[in-house]
Amino acid sequence: MMQKGKNILAFSMVYLTVFLFITLAGCKAAAPEQTIRFGYLVADQLHSPAVMVIKEKKMLEAAGFAVEWHEYMAGSHAMQDMAAGFIDFASCGAAPIMIAHSQGAQLAIVAGANQEGSSLVVNDSITFISDLDGKRIGTPGHGSIQDAMLAQLAKAYDIQIRRMAVEVSDMPLFLQKGEIDGFIAWAPHPAKAIEQEFGHELLTSKSMMPNHQCCVLVTAQSFMDEDPQTVNTLLQIYLDAYQWFMDNQDEAVKMLAKYTDMDEAIIRQALPTVYYSYPPYCNEASMQTMAQSLIETGRMTLKEADIEPFLEGLYRPDLLAKANASQ
């Protein structure tokens, strides 16, 4: 009888051990995924195609992450949320990132997205740059690269331009209704306005600031310090997505048409205005020029001598180089 009791006790212990192992294994498998909070600009996929591909193909989810996507009307709004700790990564213009960083936000640019790719579209009453004097021109808002270029243009030609913050998706309609005399925005919105004969192209960002760095991939310095492995993994995924975009243009055009809600013909018309470099390192010389412009137009209060160390603390090309070497 004692032996039978011992056997029952031994069996119970084995059963309990197996039960605990299965339970713990199940808990481990059911552990919540790491969540990445990612910000991007509305209808900005031509400038940040890799982010579009990552989202469409669920590449972060395939790598084991959960993702929260946050859409913003302007880069300055995204930087406010990043500074407050609400998002981990974002794709937006270099200019609002520089401004936010100069104001105390601890940020790190880890890759480029595109160069150039914006246009100034105006009504038929405007033929020359001098005609912009006193005109109402829509921009994505103070702190955007488009607004900065327009301010620089006004200063260079000694004219007064009434810069008005307008949601980019509304700009063609505002121009058609005569609520603004023109707008400067990222592709493909200018191409849409031109195709619908709401206005004509006066200048491109290439002619205003050749080879300028436009959108970039940025993260919070605190996130990079706390989780460098995730930053490296995300950059590798970013590179894969960027390469896919470069290699699959026809499929990419369909994807761009879907995300921007525009015809493929407009997308194809707009694509040549955007320059994509791979690997997507930033154009550092243009970023120095941009910083100088932001200082001259009062967007940043840095001293000119501080520009170089300022950018060295903001842009981290070594991280992209590491991720690229791991491909």
Q: What is the CATH number of the domain that holds 154?
A: 3.40.190.10
107 and 227, same domain (yes or no): yes
pLDDT category of residue 326 using cuts at 50, 70 and 90 = confident
CA atoms in the 13 A half-sphere facing the CB of 36: 27
Task: Report the predicted TM-score, pTM, of the whole model to 2 decimal places.
Answer: 0.85
| 45-58 average pLDDT score | 97
38 and 111, same domain (yes or no): yes
Predicted pLDDT of residue 32: 55
**DSSP states of 179-200:** SSSEEEEETTHHHHHHHTTS-E
Predicted pLDDT of residue 13: 43
The three-point CA angle 60-63-67 to 5° equals: 35
144 and 191, same domain (yes or no): yes
141 and 180, same domain (yes or no): yes
Which tokens in the block code for residue 319?
Answer: 């991280």
- List, for residues 30-48, the tens digit of each pLDDT value: 345 899 999 999 888 999 9
* Containing structural domain, residue 89: 34-116+213-292+300-325
Number of domains in the chain: 3
- List, for residues 160-211, the tens digit of each pLDDT value: 999 999 999 999 999 999 999 999 999 999 999 999 999 999 999 999 998 8
112 and 217, same domain (yes or no): yes
Residue 248 CB neighbours (<10 A)? 13
193 and 150, same domain (yes or no): yes
236 and 314, same domain (yes or no): yes
Length of the chain as a residue count: 327
Q: How far is Cα 127 from Cα 118, in angstroms, rounded to an integer?
A: 18
| 150-169 average pLDDT score | 94
Mean pLDDT (the chain, rounded):
90
- List, for residues 198-217, the tens digit of each pLDDT value: 999 999 999 999 889 999 99
Give the closest residue to 231 by CA, choosing from 240, 216, 219: 219
| 136-147 average pLDDT score | 91
Amino acid letter, 325: A
94 and 66, same domain (yes or no): yes
Asked whether 254 and 53 are in contact (CB, 8 A), the reply is no
